[in-house]
Amino acid sequence: MHLFLAPECAPFAIAAMILIGLTAIEILSMLLGFSLSELIGKPHFEGHDGILAGLLSWINIGGVPLLILIMLVLGIFAVAGFAIQTVADMVSTPLPAIVATVPALLVTIPLVRSSTRTIARIVPRDETYAVDTGDLVGRTGTVSIGPLDQGLPGRVSVKDAHGNWHQLRACAAKGESPLPIGAQVLLVDRKADIFIAVSAPSDLVRSDDKSSTEQHP
């Protein structure tokens, strides 16, 4: 704890505090029915050339939402910095903050690259070149961020005809009771980028489950 408050660890402590604040904001936004990281979206650097653009591409910036990327950088930088200062303290004395920042950054960059590549593979994509999102009207899905009501949109996890998963912004249809997380819903309409959902009929859910079983014995 003494290292966390030490001036030599100030950059890493600040990074950790910012990370905690962003995490709290993201959790609060999800409780309110939306995801701040999804609203911010992913950074795009198409059309940029040069050394900086090459480094950004190598790190895989654009492969994950910007907020997730910032949180990864802050978290890895903080952990690397505290680890370096802990080792230095055990050997002799903590390094000056500006000196410890250099190896911490050198450790952070490759770890951020590997982390973003891993996350990009496991996080469901919002869209795919194979399917127009308008074609998802009429499909069933599961409420992943909710409950869905007529207020702020939540999220519905839907699989398209090609087996790709989509995380779609959705609200409950007018007059529909709130649809809790985990509820099976039917997408009946779309207004701009927000889908309109109703509770899925039980026979339709059973039909979809049977089709999935037949396709994946």
**More confident call, 207 vs 30:** 30
Q: How many CB atoms lie within 10 A of CB 149?
A: 15
pLDDT-derived band at 163, boundaries 50, 70, 90? confident
Burial 64-100 (b: 16+ CB within 10 A, else e): bbebbbbbbbbbbbbbbbbebbeebbeeeebbebeeb
Which among 63-77, 152-166, 177-191 has the top mean pLDDT?
177-191
Q: Is the pLDDT of residue 58 over 80?
A: no
Token pair recorded at residue 149: 């009501």
- Closest C-alpha to 104, from 213, 200, 12: 12
Mean pLDDT, the chain, rounded, equals 78
Q: Whole-angstrom Cα distance, residue 143 to residue 181?
A: 5
> Cα–Cα–Cα angle for 148, 162, 194, nearest 5°?
25
pLDDT in tens, 76-94: 999 999 999 999 989 988 8
Residue 168 is predicted with a pLDDT of: 87
> Do β-strands 194-199 and 165-172 pair in parallel, antiparallel, or remain unpaired?
parallel
pLDDT in tens, 105-136: 999 988 888 887 777 666 555 444 445 667 78
Q: Is the pLDDT of residue 162 over 80?
A: no
Q: Is the pLDDT of residue 154 over 60?
A: yes
- Over range 137-154, report the average pLDDT: 89
**More confident call, 40 vs 177:** 177
Residue 41 is predicted with a pLDDT of: 54
In angstroms, how far is the first alpha carbon of the chain from the final one?
54
